Chain A
Amino acid sequence: STWTGGDDQPASPLACDATVTAVPPGDYNGGEPTDAPDRNGKPLRVVDIPKLVGVGYFNSTASGIQEAAKELGSMTVTTDGPTRANIDEQITFIDNYITSGVDGILFAANDPVAIAPVLKRALEAGINVVGYDADAEPDARQWFVNQAEPNGVAKSMIDQLASEIGEEGSFAIVTSTFTTPNQARWITEMAAYAEKCHPKLKFLETVEAQEDNILSFNQAQTLINKYGDELKGILGMTSVATPAASEAVQQNNLCGKVAVVGLALPNAMKPYVNNDCVKSTILWSTVDLGYAAGMAMRAVADGTLKPGDTTFKAGRLGDLQIVNQSQILLGAPKVFTKVDINDFDF
């Protein structure tokens, strides 16, 4: 089946080689809070509302945000959100925090459009709004901290895959659900990039596995059984699917025969990377992502991060580039291997 990315945006595959063309960010297209009080230097009460609470991924972004808050000293952050990745409940949470009168809202959107009206209401109430991990419509927030551009993620994944399974290998994808915007976007970009730069890679199919460990394991297992020797690689699109796929490969004694490439937290992948069953795992530092978001929130409130900037100075991360009119780019996704994976703890 062809992938459309869940939205109407066209894919924009990067160049096949490592050339990175620096693109000027363009005119700021984010929103502005209405009649925001002067918060420069004043204590900030901020709420962080991720897609859902109780998953490792957002636990580590939350810890990054706390790190920033601690470093700044003038900002208190509470993380709260729905227990299911549900557009409706997330909206209710934001709504309640607008009423309770916070100074800033950090969010990772379950749906960019659905969340927009309530975020706009937050801006109208004079609240500073900054997104991370999953964006909303630009005018519904001020800035978005982009962990990696979708085409960048796609390039890392496909390049890594091709290097492991060869240019003519066959692969399948395990994702959460088809409707999750980030994953859908990445898969679209991967398809486009693979066609452009690795045209002989053979895409077999994509299976859904929710954010469910055992289901991911079962689905990977089924793919292995179905394709037998034909299957050379599995792409895990979520931090749940990748370790589960690795486990399936390991339990089937296919280490070295079936490659697993995917997004995952280093901690979850250490067992497989350390025993050489899996070569790498790709991810940005989720802690840094939260840290940058926290820093950006303070800077927006202080007025030091403003439209027209081309870089943003994010504490220990140094200068981050501003791209796509109103996004702060964390950097390229990182490929963790046996060499360095044990240096990270998240």
Chain B
Amino acid sequence: MRTEAEPIVALRAIEKSFGPVSVLKGVDFDLRPGEVHALMGENGAGKSTLIRIMSGAHQPNAGTVEIDGRARRLDGPRDAQDRGIAVVHQELLLFPALTVAENIFTGHAPRTPRGTLDWGAMRRDARAILDRLDCPDLDVDETVSKLSVANRQRVEIARALSRNARVLVMDEPTAALAEADVRRLLDVVRSLRAEGVGIVYVSHRMNEIFEIADRVTVLRDGGTIATRPVGEVTEAALVSMMVGRDIDELFPKEDIPIGETVLEVRGLAHAGKVRDVSFAVRAGEILGIAGLVGSGRTELAQTIFGVTPATEGEILIDGRPVTVGSVREAIDRRIAYVPEDRAQHGLVRPQTIRENVSMAILDRLTRRSVVDTSRETALAEDAIRRFAIRARGPGQVVAQLSGGNQQKVVIAKWLATDPRILILDEPTRGVDVGAKTEIHKLMNQLARQGLAIIMISSELPEVLGMSDRILVMNGGRMTAILDRSEATPDTVGTAMMTGHAA
């Protein structure tokens, strides 16, 4: 135990507001060398804002930032970096057109004696850091735009490490990672801790917190609720601290009568990324899809949804073969897809809730191609009520909502299309426990109404908890379909790895 050590960073009575909105209201937080201090809280509780203050990106309206016991003013990210604070931001801040090596070293690249950039050293050092992160497969000369989300995440972490930071702040680093990658990341965190680095760790995933954190601080509505050693809290206690009420069950799967087969695919393939996938989903059923990052789950979903139309195979709805050549066609066939990348594919964030919710069904809300705004507003108001979206009203811009509430807008948008088949791709990624339970309840409710649901998730407990059956994918192929009764972390995990050699 190093509890006696002096904090490297301490935030005292921090307040921060954006215009009239007060986001942080007197937050205290400190970090000691060689500890992992978890920061938890609902979406919009103010975690990222606190981190931006720690990283010098924001200035607090009141309160002090102490580094090594002395009050400091952090004038921008550079200042914070110079004091040994490195941040892995929640929204990955990378340069898509530059190489991995350059991304890692942007802003502090090694120089030759003549003062020019030392490309050789840069590539060597980048390689060394990636090896330390256990990523031998990541090429330092690859441009970042070609990397998968998980690999981009690794680049971002490598960048923070490259600064030899004393303080490493990680804002939801595992949100985009699958179990195996989470393991690898946690190993890195442990070894850094052993080197005496202080780590701030933000995550919505309970199991990670209990596995890695030494202490945990819970924020709610911009205030500190408590800071406790992890050993002194239970999961239930944490949750109730976060949401301010008790949540009885994390994955409340209900037993729902299963109906007729709604969707069936046979031998579906798309351009080498999806190969020969066959399965069926019935009304009222939740089919979970598990797999490693890049196993082709998203591609499969997008093939069914007409984004990347199938190059081979058949899609049958109610037993009748149909073509799905475009998103429009998919919507007409009452298929809905809640994409994994909310900001890119799910929403038009500068526009209002009203405009987003109606976007997929505008043709139904028009009379002679004129949009009926009163019906549209009614639809949005209904969505806000039904999904308990925390917003000022249908006219609020979606970008101003917290992550969880944005996710609810996406779901509302797709349910407005009145689908019979609903595909949810990572529906609770980056969503807090409270909102997560609400989304899970919603899924149950929809299943009860007779929807056939396909849920892709990288969180194994979620897949295991919510699914009636689990389809496991690897390398674009399905390696198993397991019934709820036979699905365990072991069986699913094994299926995720099998065929890996092939």
Q: Do A and B come into direct contact in the complex, CB within 8 Å?
A: no
